Amino acid sequence: MILGIDEVGRGPWAGPLVVGAVVLGGVTIEGLTDSKKLSKKRRESLDIEIRDKALGIGLGWVSATEIDEIGLSRALAVATKRAVEQIAVPYHEIIIDGTVNFLRETTKESYVTTMKKADLLVPSVSAASVVAKVARDNYMASQDDVYQGYGFKGHVGYGTAAHSAAIDKLGVTPLHRLSFAPLKKYSVPKLEKTVINVNKSTKEIGDNAESIASDYLSNHGHKIIDRNWKTKFCEIDIVSRKADTIYFTEVKYRQKTDQGGGLAAITPKKLRQMKFATELYSLSNQISDTNLRLAVITLCGQPPVVEDFLEA
């Protein structure tokens, strides 16, 4: 009654981290080994057999967004706990592949043995490796239809030349781990708002402009859903709904018209950042089967006055 644990997806540029947890309970399954040493066809065959025969199976998922927010080390611990929480059968020992006890400082800590190459040596750990690998690969293959052109079915998020070329051409998606070194250049820097009144803070000025923009949208039939939605890497000023369309609006303010106007700040790079933020918001809030549209409101003067509302 050993609970075997192994992770898949520690190193990819995109996609979730997945930890498998399996209790075989004395069941013998021929051919179990490290999932990376098996063909895709053999992994899938073993996955079916494991799910049919094992006494307990758990999968702990941590998204790319969570990895960016809490870091990979913490994400491994979270995914392991999520996987173990799904095991309802008894066990007397937990064996984790590797050298780190991801269950330390939990009630399971005393049950844990860490072991290098456990996925080669311990059948339940091998089984955990297989079910986690198949689950993650299937998920990434399904994202091929969601984010076309990236080839997720082939490289499943790893940093291949084809993946790098796709990112250079298409930009990043909500699946991408922007905290990873090769992708940090795609993270959205926090833009400083221009101070237009020495008696007011930058935040107060920005909030004032956004409030005026929000009132403008409301007066034109929009229902405000969200304001100042932020993550570590991106933000959306206003989210609103009008009829069957959800608008993601960037608010741009300039004190004087000779500063170029707000639309001057909407560069192709900024548009890509806005698109990424929209996709991430939709994913985070499970928005589907809805028309989504980018928009920009520009304001000028003191007090701010709406100059233009432009839909992308």
Identify the CATH number of the domain in which residue 172 sits: 3.30.420.10
Structure tokens at 294: 């980018």
pLDDT of residue 266: 63
Instruction: Identify whether the C-beta of residue 18 lies closer than 8 Å to the C-beta of residue 61.
Output: yes
Structure tokens at 242: 């009008």
Give bridge partners of residue 2 from the DSSP assignment. 93
Domain end among 157, 184, 211: 184
Structurally, the chain folds into a number of domains equal to: 2
pLDDT of residue 280: 86
- Tell me which residue of 113, 121, 118, 81 sits closest to 94, measured CA to CA: 113
pLDDT of residue 180: 94
- Do 66 and 178 lie in one domain? The reply is yes
| Residue 191 domain flag | no
Edge-first strand listing for the sheet containing 305-311: 223-230, 235-242, 245-254, 291-300, 305-311
CA dist 76 and 212 (Å) reads: 44
Domain end among 139, 157, 184: 184
Instruction: Identify whether the C-beta of residue 229 lies closer than 8 Å to the C-beta of residue 262.
Output: no
- Do 9 and 133 lie in one domain? The reply is yes
Distance of alpha carbon 120 from the chain centroid: 30
CA dist 80 and 60 (Å) reads: 6
pLDDT of residue 262: 45
pLDDT of residue 101: 96
Instruction: Identify whether the C-beta of residue 14 lies closer than 8 Å to the C-beta of residue 94.
Output: no
- Tell me which residue of 14, 36, 61 sits closest to 160, measured CA to CA: 14
- Do 87 and 125 lie in one domain? The reply is yes
- Tell me which residue of 262, 263, 266 sits closest to 254, measured CA to CA: 262
Residues above pLDDT 90, as percent of the chain: 58
| Residue 193 domain flag | no
> Which residues lie below 8 Å from residue 62, measured CB to CB, with a gap of 6+?
16, 17, 18, 75, 76, 78, 79, 82
For the chain, residues with pLDDT lower than 70 are 188-206, 256-266, 289, 303
Alpha helices in 7-122 (DSSP H): 40-53, 64-70, 72-84, 118-121
- Do 99 and 244 lie in one domain? The reply is no
- Do 49 and 147 lie in one domain? The reply is yes
- Do 51 and 156 lie in one domain? The reply is yes
- Do 211 and 165 lie in one domain? The reply is no
DSSP at 244: T
Helix (H) or strand (E) holding 301: none
- Do 220 and 120 lie in one domain? The reply is no
Say which amino acid occupies 169.
K
Q: Which residue range forms the structural domain that includes residue 61?
A: 2-184
